[in-house]
Every structure is written in structure tokens, then in C-alpha cells.
């Protein structure tokens, strides 16, 4: 049996006997062809290859698409001569020379390039050496097009220049880098341009306490810490705008006689007293000014009090404040945009830095011949020798996948973006996208496969997460109605296959609308989340399942259970939920549910004689609809009987066979 070194066609011996320039050129061309065969099939990644003299020897289709030059136009040309300025071309040559001398990758570098059409584009390049078995070393350059990101940066800069043309006070904000200093300056500006001595600036966020107090003036530290803890979602402010006195275009005045509409825990009343006269400010008065984004959505609130003029506010009083609110709203949005852009930039750099494009070569029998640094690093090996001691089948989680992959390669000669489960040195599995090209000899016999492998584990996780989100109710975490409609007929079909029962529980929250109207939707959402938790806790995990049927209605499917067994489960859920304590305000509240139970049953009996020799159908979707209808009628009966109870249907759905 030949050794691995013999299997690579006696490369070392070949070097010794090739003396003439024509032979050397032949070897170089062969090496370039093999490298080209690999890079030509790498999708959407611009890859170029350079020899030791800095001449272009490789220009894959993705490079043609990015730069507009065909391979025939650039092969033999000096590095960067067509796409870079003279100074940048010199830098590229220096990078190539350094990578050759040090035998290691050059640092990531951004370049400004020009296409054949004269368009300016921006790329992020990874430059690294690749040694071929014949002894020839090439420099490979992998380019990522970052023009869109650069263009976005440019647009952001242009937007900032437009903002600088606003009033002098707003322009000053642009030069404040420290976020807290910026918000303090905004709060101070509100005091300076308005009729009020105290201000709280709140920005709405999605998580409790649903607002962030970003700026304040005239408020004690103790009072500030107290109100920061109070949940103040947008809905609470909208109540003030609805029941208070509207002034200006986007402001609301809440006089002390209407202070009951405010959440008293979140209010900091002024300490300054005013003469009790008509049209005079009262120390318990408040003004709220909405900050809106460019689409008119309220993103924050400016709360002010302690009138300097001692007068109740008018349209003229709040107009300067509204103007400033609109100016700082745009500025805050741009600051948030910049913050998010920086986060995206960091993530982008991390992504580029961690992209691992592995390239390895293996014979049809599975002998590993070559591997690039990114490749053995991807598999968790410190050097190529330890990796090459394996066989190709050792890389797969399931050996059968290797057999299928080789068969597809033998049939087609090319496999593109095949997703397979591979494993690292320590046995950790990971998902990879593999593209392989068969390299044949002069007689058409496959000598080996060149394979490009990319770790796509994170992408697969994202896909799975998206798939899960598509069938899950966002609020409760249960399945959504769409998944319910798809899965129930399948479970009914399984019940028919196994000749068993399937039970359906329909649950509805008692007096939920009244609770929602009294305590608002956020508190109502807590009820929905809690009933979902109780349901999940009281059904068989991995067997029974539940879905949000709609609004405050929930459906539970119990495969293999009869209606009487499901009744026990429903009662357990009802009693458990009734014990849960809710505290929408100071007092404790208990909520109840009503439930209806129904079943379908496929008894162990033979198919009707007249259908035995014929094709027949069971309409599973129709049975699902009928089952839901029975459970809903039982639920309605439970509601009519006083609520807080479970009613079981006295009907059972059994299959009806029909000829298609």
C-alpha cells in the first residue's frame, strides 16, 4: 500500500527531476489551476492570487463581478495596478511581500478601489500565503465588499452637517461626546428657553420601568431615585393627554384639580408656592411635552413644572418648548442611530475577523492530503500534521453523510454549499457548508477533491430561532394560532393511526376585558403570561401541547387522553391559576378561568366492509374544526353556569369514512 506522500504523486521526486524552465512553468500552471478550481466555486467571495513577483495569477468569478475586469484582463498584471491608486498599490505590494517573507497572514486592511467602470468601492481584505505541494507559494487575497456600510457612514455624516445648521443652542449639543453631559446640557437648555424651573426628560424603552430618565434639573437625588423605579409606559402618559388639557400641538397641561389622573408614585410636586388666583400656577400643576420621531411616534416626554411667570401655560408658553423638543428629538434619534451603528460596526468587524474559510484536499478513498491554516483551526487542531493524520470520514458526525457526499461528487463532479454536520477535534459538532470540486487526471479519473468548508453553525441557529418564532406567540411563549391550525389535524391523524383518543381543552379568562380596561393592557399582559405558565406547568411535557387560540382564549391538545382524563387536567389548571396573586395596584387580585372539554375517539374496529377494497378518506381538518366547536360550546356552557368551572361535552367525535 502506498504512503500518503506517494499518493500525492511523488511531488518531491517531481521537483528533483524538473530542471528546465518549461517544466517549472508547467508545475506552476498546474498549481494555479488547482487553486483556481477551488476558488472559482466559492460563491460571493472575491478571491485573487498573486505570485512571488506580485503578479496576478488568480482572479475568480466573484472578483470579476466586484471589479468588472475579466480574468483575462488582469492575469499577469501587477497587484493593484488596475484597481488601486499608485500609493495604495505600493502598500498592497508591501503586504504581499511581508506575507511571503513571514509566511503568515497580513492584518485586515480596508482599501478604496475603483472598478472598470470607474466606480469607487470599499473592500476589507484578508491576505494570507498558501503553499502548494510543488513548493510554489502564492498569496491569496479575500475581499469583502463594505461599500454599503461606508455609504451609510457617509449619509450619517451628511445628516450631521444638516443638523449643524439648526439654532446655535442645538448646534452646541453636537459637540458634546459624553452622553450624560449631553443630556444634562439638554435639560439645562429646556430650563433656559422655557417658562419652567424644573424638568424631567424621559425616553421610552421596551422593558420595565418602560422609560429611562435621561435628563433632569431642579429635582433632588432622593426624589429622582424614587420615581426611576416606577413603571411609566407610554400608555400612562396617553391617559394624561386624553383627560388633561391639550395645549400647543403636542403638549398637555394637568392642573392640580386633575392630579388624580397621574400615577402619584411617579410625581414629584414642586415646593414653591404661588398666590391662589385665577390663571395662576399651582405647585401641583404639571406640563407634559411629547417628543416625536420623524414618523410622528412619541419616543419620549419632557415633564416640566414650577412656572417662572407664575401663570398657567398657554399655547404661546409651550410653543418654544415644543420647537426645542422637536429639535432634540431628532438629535437624540441621531445619537441612538450612531450608537446602533457603532454596535453594528463592532459586530461586523467580529464577523469578518471570525470568518473561517477552510480549504482541504482529500482522495476519493478519504486520505487527507492538504489543509490550509483556517481549515485545521476550524476543526480545533493546532497544526496541519495532526489533522492530516485523520481520514475524511473522521470529520463527519455521521459516517453515512460522507458516503452520500462522495456519491454525489462521483455523479456530478461538483457539490455546492452542501450543509453537513462535522465535528471538531474534541468531538464538538458544528454545521458546515461544503463546496467540493473533483480534480481529474488526463484520463478523466478523479485524483482528489478540493473542498471549501465554512462554519455555518451560528447561521443555522438563527434559522432555527426564526422558525421557532414563526410558530410561537410572542407574548405567552405558547404556540400561535397558525401552528395550532397546522398541527391539530396531524395529531388527529396520529390518533386515527393508533386507534386512540385525543382530547381538546378550551380555556378562557373570566372577565378579562373588564380587568384590561381597569388596569390597562400591560397588566392584562401579565395575566396572559401567567395563565400560559400555569398551563405549561400542568400538562405532560413533550406529549401534550398548548396554543394561544386568540385574545384571552387558549387551547390544549392531549393526544391519547379521553375527555374525562382531560377534565382532571383542566380542573388542576383552574385551581392552580385561581391561587395566583396579582397586584395591579396596591390590593391583591385573584383571577379565574372557565374551560370546555371535548374529545375525538378512533375505536379499534375494522374499516366498513363496503370500503375495504376502496380508497377512503378521513377529513382531519373537518374533525379538528368540529372538535374545537364542541370544546367552545362546553366553554360557553361553563361561562353561562357562573364561570370559574370546567364543563365536559357529552358528545364524542368518531371518524366518518368517505370515498374520494
* Top CATH class, 4-145: alpha beta
Report the candidate in 140, 128, 147, 146 with the shortest Cα–Cα distance to residue 59. Answer: 140
Can you tell me the mean pLDDT for 259-268?
93
Note the pLDDT tens digit of each residue in 130-144: 876 666 788 888 888
Question: What pLDDT score does 489 carry?
Answer: 95
Can you tell me the mean pLDDT for 56-70?
90
Share of the chain above pLDDT 90, in %: 44
Q: Is the pLDDT confidence value at 371 over 50?
A: yes
Question: What pLDDT score does 568 carry?
Answer: 97
Using 50, 70 and 90 to split pLDDT, how confident is the model at 355?
very low
Can you tell me the mean pLDDT for 599-616?
69
Question: How far is residue 377's CA from residue 356's CA, in Å, rounded to a whole number?
Answer: 8
Using 50, 70 and 90 to split pLDDT, how confident is the model at 654?
confident
487: helix, coil or strand?
A: helix
Note the pLDDT tens digit of each residue in 146-158: 888 887 676 555 4
Q: Is the pLDDT confidence value at 104 over 60?
A: yes
Q: Which of 197-206, 353-362, 371-380 has the lowest mean pLDDT?
A: 353-362
Question: How far is residue 138's CA from residue 121's CA, in Å, rounded to a whole number?
Answer: 25
Using 50, 70 and 90 to split pLDDT, how confident is the model at 14?
very low
Please name the CATH architecture into which domain 156-345 falls. Answer: 2-Layer Sandwich (3.30)
Q: Is the pLDDT confidence value at 7 over 50?
A: no
Q: Is the pLDDT confidence value at 41 over 60?
A: yes
Note the pLDDT tens digit of each residue in 508-521: 999 999 998 888 87
Q: How much is the mean pLDDT over the chain? A: 84
Question: What pLDDT score does 43 carry?
Answer: 66
Report the candidate in 392, 435, 388, 405 with the shortest Cα–Cα distance to residue 133. Answer: 388
Question: What pLDDT score does 507 carry?
Answer: 97
Question: How far is residue 528's CA from residue 585's CA, in Å, rounded to a whole number?
Answer: 17
Helices 563-579 and 512-537: crossing angle, nearest 10°?
120
Phi/psi at 5 (5° precision): -65, -35
Question: What pLDDT score does 180 carry?
Answer: 82
Question: What pLDDT score does 138 carry?
Answer: 82
Can you tell me the mean pLDDT for 367-380?
88
Q: Is the pLDDT confidence value at 175 over 90?
A: no
Q: Which of 108-117, 183-192, 336-345, 555-564 has the lowest mean pLDDT?
A: 336-345
More confident residue, 72 or 442: 72
More confident residue, 85 or 327: 85
Q: Which of 70-74, 99-103, 157-161, 358-362 has the lowest mean pLDDT?
A: 157-161
Can you tell me the mean pLDDT for 563-576?
97
Using 50, 70 and 90 to split pLDDT, how confident is the model at 254?
very high
Q: Is the pLDDT confidence value at 21 over 80?
A: no
Q: Is the pLDDT confidence value at 442 over 70?
A: no
Question: What pLDDT score does 605 carry?
Answer: 64
More confident residue, 13 or 310: 310
Q: Is the pLDDT confidence value at 206 over 90?
A: no
Domain spans of the chain, in order of start: 4-145, 156-345, 357-460, 471-653
Is domain 357-460 classified as CATH 3.30.450.20? yes
CA distances from 391 to 41, 304, 366, 395, 396 (A): 24, 73, 5, 7, 10
Q: Given this chain, do its domains 357-460 and 471-653 carry the same CATH topology?
A: no
Q: Is the pLDDT confidence value at 363 over 50?
A: yes
More confident residue, 593 or 206: 593
Q: Is the pLDDT confidence value at 22 over 70?
A: no
Q: Is the pLDDT confidence value at 25 over 60?
A: no
CA angle, residues 258, 264, 270, in degrees to nearest 5: 80
| Topology adopted by domain 471-653 | Alpha-Beta Plaits (3.30.70)
Q: Is the pLDDT confidence value at 501 over 70?
A: yes
Can you tell me the mean pLDDT for 329-343?
70
Most confident of 16-20, 38-42, 93-97: 93-97
Question: How far is residue 587's CA from residue 581's CA, in Å, rounded to a whole number?
Answer: 10
More confident residue, 187 or 355: 187
Question: How far is residue 318's CA from residue 308's CA, in Å, rounded to a whole number?
Answer: 13
Residues linked to residue 253 through DSSP beta bridges, in sequence order: 245, 287
Amino acid at each position: 500500500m502506498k504512503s500518503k506522500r506517494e499518493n500525492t504523486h511523488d511531488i518531491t521526486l517531481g521537483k528533483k527531476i524538473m530542471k528546465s524552465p518549461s517544466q517549472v512553468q508547467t508545475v506552476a500552471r498546474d498549481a494555479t489551476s488547482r487553486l483556481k478550481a477551488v476558488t472559482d466555486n466559492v460563491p460571493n467571495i472575491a478571491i485573487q492570487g498573486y505570485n512571488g513577483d506580485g503578479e496576478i495569477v488568480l482572479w475568480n468569478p466573484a472578483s470579476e463581478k466586484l471589479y468588472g475586469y475579466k480574468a483575462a484582463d488582469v492575469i499577469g498584471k501587477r497587484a493593484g495596478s488596475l484597481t488601486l491608486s499608485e500609493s495604495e498599490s505600493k502598500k498592497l505590494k508591501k503586504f504581499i511581500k511581508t506575507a511571503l517573507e513571514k509566511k503568515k497572514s497580513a492584518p485586515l486592511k480596508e482599501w478604496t478601489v475603483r472598478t472598470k467602470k470607474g466606480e469607487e468601492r470599499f473592500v476589507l481584505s484578508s491576505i494570507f500565503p498558501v503553499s502548494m505541494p510543488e513548493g510554489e507559494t502564492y498569496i491569496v487575497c479575500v475581499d469583502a465588499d463594505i461599500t454599503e456600510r461606508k455609504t451609510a457612514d457617509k449619509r450619517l455624516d451628511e445628516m450631521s452637517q444638516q443638523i449643524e445648521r439648526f439654532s446655535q443652542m442645538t448646534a452646541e449639543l453636537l459637540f458634546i461626546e459624553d452622553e450624560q453631559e449631553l443630556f444634562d446640557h439638554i435639560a439645562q437648555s429646556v430650563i433656559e428657553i422655557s417658562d419652567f424651573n424644573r424638568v424631567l426628560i424621559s425616553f421610552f424603552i421596551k422593558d420595565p420601568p418602560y422609560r429611562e430618565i435621561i435628563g433632569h434639573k431642579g429635582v433632588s437625588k432622593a426624589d429622582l431615585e424614587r420615581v426611576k423605579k416606577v413603571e411609566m409606559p407610554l400608555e400612562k402618559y396617553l391617559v394624561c393627554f386624553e383627560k388633561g388639557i391639550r395645549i400647543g400641538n403636542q403638549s398637555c397641561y394637568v392642573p392640580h384639580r386633575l392630579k388624580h389622573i397621574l400615577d402619584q408614585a411617579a410625581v414629584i410636586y414642586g415646593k414653591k408656592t404661588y398666590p391662589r388666583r385665577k390663571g395662576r400656577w399651582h405647585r401641583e400643576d404639571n406640563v407634559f411635552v411629547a417628543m416625536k420621531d420623524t414618523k410622528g411616534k412619541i419616543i419620549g416626554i419632557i415633564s416640566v413644572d414650577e412656572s417662572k411667570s407664575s401663570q398657567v401655560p398657554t399655547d404661546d408658553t409651550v410653543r418654544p418648548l415644543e420647537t426645542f423638543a422637536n429639535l432634540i428629538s431628532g438629535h437624540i434619534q441621531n445619537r441612538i442611530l450612531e450608537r446602533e451603528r457603532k454596535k453594528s460596526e463592532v459586530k461586523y468587524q467580529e464577523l469578518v475577523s471570525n470568518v473561517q474559510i477552510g480549504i482541504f484536499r482529500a482522495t476519493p478513498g478519504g486520505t487527507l492530503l492538504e489543509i490550509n491554516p483556517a481549515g485545521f483551526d476550524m476543526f480545533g487542531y493546532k497544526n496541519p500534521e495532526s489533522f492530516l493524520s485523520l481520514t475524511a470520514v473522521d470529520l463527519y458526525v455521521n459516517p453515512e453523510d460522507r458516503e452520500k457526499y462522495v456519491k454525489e461528487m462521483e455523479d456530478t463532479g461538483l457539490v455546492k454549499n452542501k450543509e453537513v454536520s462535522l465535528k471538531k477535534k474534541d468531538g464538538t459538532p458544528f454545521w458546515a457548508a461544503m463546496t467540493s470540486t473533483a480534480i481529474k487526471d488526463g484520463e478523466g479519473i478523479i485524483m482528489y477533491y478540493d473542498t471549501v468548508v465554512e462554519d455555518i453553525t451560528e447561521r443555522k441557529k438563527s434559522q432555527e430561532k426564526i422558525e421557532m418564532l414563526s410558530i410561537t406567540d410572542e407574548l405567552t411563549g405558547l404556540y400561535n394560532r397558525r401552528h395550532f391550525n397546522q398541527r391539530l389535524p396531524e395529531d388527529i391523524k396520529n390518533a386515527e393511526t393508533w386507534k386512540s383518543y385525543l382530547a381538546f381543552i378550551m380555556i378562557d379568562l373570566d372577565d378579562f376585558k373588564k380587568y384590561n380596561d381597569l388596569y390597562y393592557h400591560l397588566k392584562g399582559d401579565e395575566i396572559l403570561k401567567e395563565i400560559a405558565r400555569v398551563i405549561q406547568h400542568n400538562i405532560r411535557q413533550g406529549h401534550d401541547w398548548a396554543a394561544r387560540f386568540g385574545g384571552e382564549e387558549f387551547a390544549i391538545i392531549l393526544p391519547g387522553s379521553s375527555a374525562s382524563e382531560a377534565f382532571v387536567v383542566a380542573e388542576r389548571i383552574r385551581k392552580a391559576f385561581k391561587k395566583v396573586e396579582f397586584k395591579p395596584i396596591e390590593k391583591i387580585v385573584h383571577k379565574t378561568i372557565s374551560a370546555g372539554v371535548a374529545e375525538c375517539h378512533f375505536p379499534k374496529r375494522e374499516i366498513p366492509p363496503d370500503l375495504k377494497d376502496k380508497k377512503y378518506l378521513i377529513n382531519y381538518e373537518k374533525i379538528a374544526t368540529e372538535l374545537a366547536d364542541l370544546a367552545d360550546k362546553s366553554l360557553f356552557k361553563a361561562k353561562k353556569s357562573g364561570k370559574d368551572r370546567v364543563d365536559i361535552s357529552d358528545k364524542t367525535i368518531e371518524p366518518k369514512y368517505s370515498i374520494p
